[in-house]
Amino acid sequence: MITEFTLSPSTQTGALGLMHIKRFWSKVMLRRANQLNDDMWRQEWQMDKTLLSVLGLGQEQTLTYVFQYAPAFEEFEQWIIRTAGTPPAEQVDKFNSLFFKTPAVSESIPSILNDEELAFWAQNGYIIIKNVVPKADCQATVDVICDFLKIKLNEPETWYGPHTSRQGIMIQLFQHPLLQKNRQSARIRMAYEQLWQRTDIWVTTDRVGFNPPETDTWKFPGPDLHWDCGLDLPIPFNLQGLLYLTDTAPEQGAFTLVPGFHNRISEWLPSLPEGTNPRAENLHALGSFPIAAAAGDFVIWHQALPHGSRPNTSLKPRFVQYINYQPADIPLQQHWL
């Protein structure tokens, strides 16, 4: 295995002037060659994700490119520019400052959520923020997704065709001016800042979702209820979020979660018989609830809540965009239980 000392240092930059980028590239290349162990791969993953946020790149998108083409570092930077453009200088400077001990700049925390909404959040572990993106932008984003998938909303027979970027209901579409505009919604950012109680958070470049109605030949592929984190207790605070791009009813493949489970998981996990895989349990039996909301509404949830989508038994597809904000210094979970 390769030791840390063979990797490029985080302070080494390339043509983009961005720190950590050459170290990230070298780690992926070593991982590709099975020369980087799991612990070292995971150790800096939150910083790696923050780097990709600055670059406007999706995680799977980037790893797939490097694993497939094994580019030289200069080629990797050129691919970044072709794919997502040159990162803004102020974002580069802000990210580079993470590698130096500079005095923290105190910024006021927004108060976009009122006391009633915060009480609902504390009890249920999720919140719906209304009208964070104009409905016209939501419809335009739906049009972008349809064009990308080569489907037509008024022709249901086109909804089920194969596409190289289609992974179940997840669509590997990351870069588009409208997607980026939605990510930069001031109200979405302020809600995350208030819940995190800090302003030094970074927006991720995530994908979109398309969940069409079930038919005799096409059935909901998941993901059903799950967690995207390790289950070693205590579950660390972390957030996830999605934007509804269309008015979505409960039976329309709505986003589904178990309200309040962040307050129960520390008792539920130890109560399971020894050797039980908690991820294989009937999580719907814990009290799953589909979230109906309108186009332009945004759902944020605590990562300790089991969550997922559900079969779409309506006549209309569900469209969403996944958007999240995270700090660069989230502590590493040691185990994936």
Task: Look at the domain 115-326 and name its fold.
Answer: Jelly Rolls (2.60.120)
Q: Which of 115, 208, 222, 98 is nearest to 163 (CA)?
A: 208
Residues 116 and 226: beta-carbon distance below 8 Å: no
Q: Write down the pTM of the prediction.
A: 0.94
What pLDDT does residue 106 have? Answer: 64
> For residue 245, what are its two tokens?
């791009």
For 54, counting Cβ atoms within 10 Å of its Cβ (0-12 exposed, 13-18 middle, 19+ buried), the class is buried
Torsion angles phi and psi, residue 61, rounded to 5: -55, -45
Residues 242 and 321: beta-carbon distance below 8 Å: yes
Mean pLDDT computed over every residue of the chain: 94
Torsion angles phi and psi, residue 252, rounded to 5: -95, 35
Q: Where are the domains of the chain?
A: 4-99, 115-326
Asked whether residue 97 carries a pLDDT value surpassing 80, the answer given is: yes
Q: Which amino acid would we find at residue 156?
A: P
The confidence band for 1, taking pLDDT boundaries of 50, 70 and 90, is: very low
Give the bridge partners for 322, in sequence order. Answer: 242
Q: Are strands 256-257 and 307-308 parallel, antiparallel or unpaired?
A: antiparallel
Q: Are strands 298-302 and 239-244 parallel, antiparallel or unpaired?
A: antiparallel
Tens of pLDDT, residues 113-143: 999 999 999 999 999 999 999 999 999 999 9
For 288, counting Cβ atoms within 10 Å of its Cβ (0-12 exposed, 13-18 middle, 19+ buried), the class is buried
Q: Which of 10, 14, 8, 21 is nearest to 62 (CA)?
A: 21
